[in-house]
Chain A
Amino acid sequence: MSPRDEDKREESRGKLRDAKMNEHESMRELLALAAAGALDEDEQRKLGRHLAECSACSAELDAWRGLAASLKRLPTPQAPSMLVERTRSRVALELAAIAERRKSYWVMAFLVLFSWTVTLVTWPVVRLLSGGVLSWLDLGFNQTWFGLAGYTALGWVTAGVAGAVLSLKRRREGRFA
């Protein structure tokens, strides 16, 4: 064998060694994740092949598994029972307040619908009256659109004032409760 062949063989052996080293290093990177059960199937398969022929990596994987097991077995700090009790009553209050708010929305929606119905239903009556009895007041109620707007505004202003008075009263009660 010529010295040249010898060199070539040595070179290719060196390349093979480098490739093995690279693979070893890249597989080592996976060991911690393997112990954490975080490898995908492909990585799992490659690592499995490497572990079969690399005792150093097998030993290191065991060590990582040991660390993972210790993490899993860490004592669980217990939530103080006073804290749980306090949270329970605080959140129960909050739930009640939320339910109350939700109820208020429904009541409000119902009232708005109701007011509109009343306004529209009573409008013909108002027109009838304004044509006769109320005509001397000259409120302009017999001009249909202007009259309806005025009548509606009157209704909403009254309802608004009533609402404001009620909510003030409620807030005052809430403060003293």
Chain B
Amino acid sequence: MGHAAVLSWEGGVGLDSDVARLRRGDPQALEALLSRYQHRLYRYLLRLVREPALAEDLFQQTWLRVAERIQRFDPSRNFDAWLFSVARNLAIDHLRRYRPESLDEPAAGDPSGEPRQARLAADGPSALDRLLDQERAGLVAGALADLPVIYREILSLRFEEEMKLEEIAGVLELPLSTVKTRLRRGLDGMKRKIETRSPGQWGLA
């Protein structure tokens, strides 16, 4: 049964049935959902809090809360957005309690929030290209990690999770106009940071 989600070629169908089964308390549905979301959810939490140990803790808390609250989840809503907003609320609560300053100020310079086994883009045709890709990815990841949390999260949701603006507004519980403003400021911030570190590089794909 746990394989149902993996075998179904159309993601949404398997997802709906997994969510429905989890609402009935089926532990195998939990297994399927965990496998489906493990890396994405972990990545999002890591972008938010930047410390792997804390991200791991919040990852576990998120799933516990999902188990607790799945009864209250409205199946006509988007599960992705619900899951990410559960994770976000836990992360923001934590930051508010232990590091309130991080919620409104840019944090100082340690961009190394990422575990080493980060996957390499496998499509670089030559070794040199791969090296350049890696360098650029490092530059971009560093700039992202240096932004204040409100911009990190919005950039991660838009570009990594590829959520629509309306979905992001749902996760962050913000009006669409604020989402757009933050998105623009976040990108501006990225540009400035990359330019300071490596002039002329900001727009190179």
Contacts and interface: CB of A to CB of B under 8 A. Distances in A.
Interface stretch (B4-12, B72-80, B82-90, B186-194): B186-194
Given A38-B183, A74-B144, A69 B118 contact: no
Nearest to B47: A77
B45 to A, nearest CB: 9
Nearest to A60: B203
Main secondary structure of the interface of A (DSSP, over half): helix
By size class, the interface of chain B is 35 or more
B159 to A, nearest CB: 4
Interface stretch (A10-18, A87-95, A137-145): A87-95
Interface stretch (A78-86, A111-119, A122-130, A162-170): A78-86
Contacts of B60: 83, 86-87, 90-91
B42 A77 contact: yes
A92 B30 contact: yes
A19 interface: no
B108 interface: no
Interface of B: 25, 27, 30-31, 34-35, 38-43, 46, 56, 59-60, 63-64, 66-68, 114-115, 117-121, 133, 136-137, 140-141, 144, 155, 158-160, 162, 165, 180, 183-184, 187-188, 190-191, 194, 202-205
For the complex of A and B, 7 pairs with smallest distance between CB atoms:
A63-B203, A79-B42, A66-B205, A75-B118, A71-B159, A32-B187, A66-B203
Given A36-B184, A70-B137, A78-B117, 15 more contacts: A32-B183, A32-B188, A35-B187, A67-B205, A71-B160, A72-B159, A74-B137, A75-B121, A75-B141, A76-B160, A83-B60, A84-B35, A87-B60, A88-B34, A95-B25
